[in-house]
């Protein structure tokens, strides 16, 4: 157990270190109006906090920096939401009011705003749509040689796939094929529809229309695979490179490689409520000095997602946490409309 005074000192050290990434000494603490203690008292408590594992001493300064254990204690017991964050809420509200009918656009814009407000990397993972039922398959000609297939689900998700119209094939003929597939796949879930498309029955259904059927099947399967994949949004990737924790070029390279493999999705996970994961939890080389803060949003039993912010362990938790929570709550409301 640490004393009330030590809690106050730990909180002050962490919040000072977050601002400028400089070790904090007792002299800096004495200038804080709410720490009216002698230098000797402050030095003693700092030594105690270091012994307990909440602070670490650097080689280049007599000051201390927070340890991961210190940050953990801070976010679990000491952090308070920054009241000034509410000034940003109208900007968030504007995004959701503007995009009532464009859910994916709302998520993308909200994540972009979150990365701008925090100056960290923001991301969102939405649940896959493979359990959704197909409501309609439509065909939109763009020209004599190009068209778009639209697949609409019962949950309002829309997927599109561009296709080339073979030379010598009439648009009306292609429309008839799409209508046949619409009749065949309507009211089936995405997984079942994908399986049906690969059966000889489905191929036989459209083979009489054209030799082009295998390419068309491929286009549909590609579209369905997009439904089955997690919807992943990412913004402000390079923001973390501005942090001193990423001065090591190897860390930058590992981080970029991790993005390519989409391992960030694994870092977010699927937790109940606010989750804060530190470097030792993440167990990845480029994440040693990083933290992921995430909050889930739930639409229904089958539809859910998570938004998250990735930044240095030395991040502004009092600012980031309320922003992530507010956006997550609005995402849930948006999808229920």
* Residues 162-215 pLDDT 10s: 777 777 777 777 787 788 888 888 888 877 877 776 675 556 655 555 455 556
Q: E-assigned strands of the chain?
A: 55-57, 64-66, 121-126, 134-141, 146-153, 158-164, 231-235, 275-277, 290-298, 304-312
Residue with the larger pLDDT of the pair 236 and 53: 53
Angle between the N-to-C axes of helices 190-197 and 213-228, in degrees from 0 to 180, rounded to the nearest 10: 160
The alpha carbon of residue 213 and the mean position of all alpha carbons in its chain are separated, in whole angstroms, by 38
Q: Whole-angstrom Cα distance, residue 162 to residue 167? A: 16
Place of tokens 């030792």: 280
Which residues touch 170 (CB under 8 Å, ≥6 apart)?
Answer: none
Q: Which of 4-13, 198-207, 233-242 has the lowest mean pLDDT?
A: 198-207
According to the model, what pLDDT value does residue 57 have?
87
The CATH fold of domain 83-127+230-336: Beta-Lactamase (3.30.450)
296, 271 contact by CB (below 8 A): yes
Q: How confident is the model at residue 77 (pLDDT cuts 50, 70, 90)?
A: very high
4-78: which CATH architecture? Orthogonal Bundle (1.10)
Q: Which two tokens stand for residue 58?
A: 């650097």
- Interatomic CA distance for residues 155 and 336, integer angstroms: 10
Average pLDDT estimate for 21-38: 89
- With vertex at residue 304, the alpha carbon angle to CA 300 and CA 305, rounded to the nearest 5 degrees, is 160
Q: Would the pTM of this model clear 0.85, i.e. be above it?
A: no
The dihedral built from the CA positions of residue 96, 100, 102 and 103, taken in this order, carries a sign that is positive
Ranges of CATH 3.30.390.60 domains, the chain: 134-228
CA separation for the pair 110, 309 (Å, rounded): 12
Position with higher pLDDT, 215 vs 261: 215
| Distance separating alpha carbons of residues 245 and 312, to the nearest angstrom | 7
Give the residue ranges of DSSP H helices in 147-248: 171-185, 190-197, 200-207, 213-228
| Dist. CA 181–CA 189, nearest whole Å | 14
Closest of 37, 50, 1, 74 to residue 313, by C-alpha:
74
Q: Measure Cα distances from 13 to 22, 41, 64, 291, 297 in Å.
A: 10, 15, 8, 18, 33
Residue ranges matching CATH 1.10.10.10 in the chain: 4-78
Q: What is the pLDDT of residue 264?
A: 65
Point out the least confidently predicted range of 69-73, 86-90, 201-205, 249-253: 201-205
CATH 3.30.360.10 fits 134-228, yes or no: no
């Amino acid at each position: 157990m640490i004393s009330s005074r030590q809690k106050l000192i730990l909180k002050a050290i962490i919040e000072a270190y977050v601002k400028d990434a400089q070790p904090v000494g007792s002299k800096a603490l004495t200038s804080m109006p709410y720490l009216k203690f002698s230098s000797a008292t402050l030095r003693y408590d700092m030594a105690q906090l270091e012994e307990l594992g909440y602070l670490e001493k650097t080689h280049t300064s007599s000051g201390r920096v927070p340890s991961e254990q210190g940050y953990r204690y801070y976010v679990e017991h000491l952090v308070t939401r920054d009241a000034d964050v509410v000034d940003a809420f109208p900007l968030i509200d504007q995004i959701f009011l503007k995009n009532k009918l464009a859910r994916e656009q709302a998520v993308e814009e909200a994540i972009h705003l979150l990365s701008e407000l925090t100056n960290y990397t923001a991301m969102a993972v939405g649940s896959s749509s493979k359990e959704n039922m197909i409501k309609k398959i439509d065909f939109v000609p763009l020209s004599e040689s190009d068209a778009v297939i639209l697949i609409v689900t019962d949950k309002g998700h829309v997927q599109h796939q561009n296709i080339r119209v073979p030379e010598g094939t009439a648009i009306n003929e292609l429309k008839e094929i799409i209508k046949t597939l619409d009749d065949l796949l309507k009211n089936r879930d995405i997984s079942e529809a994908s399986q049906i498309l690969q059966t000889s029955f489905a191929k036989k259904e459209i083979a009489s229309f054209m030799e082009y059927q295998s390419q068309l099947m491929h286009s549909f399967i590609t579209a369905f695979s997009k439904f089955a994949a997690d919807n992943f949004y990412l913004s402000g990737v390079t923001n973390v490179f501005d942090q001193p924790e990423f001065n090591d070029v190897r860390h930058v390279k590992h981080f970029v490689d991790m993005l390519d493999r989409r391992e960030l999705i694994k870092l977010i996970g699927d937790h109940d409520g606010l989750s804060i994961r530190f470097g030792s939890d993440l167990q990845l080389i480029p994440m040693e000095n990083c933290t992921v803060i995430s909050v889930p949003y739930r639409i229904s039993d089958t539809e859910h997602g998570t938004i998250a912010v990735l930044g240095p362990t030395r991040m502004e938790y009092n600012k980031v946490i309320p922003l992530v929570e507010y956006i997550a709550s609005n995402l849930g409301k948006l999808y229920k409309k």
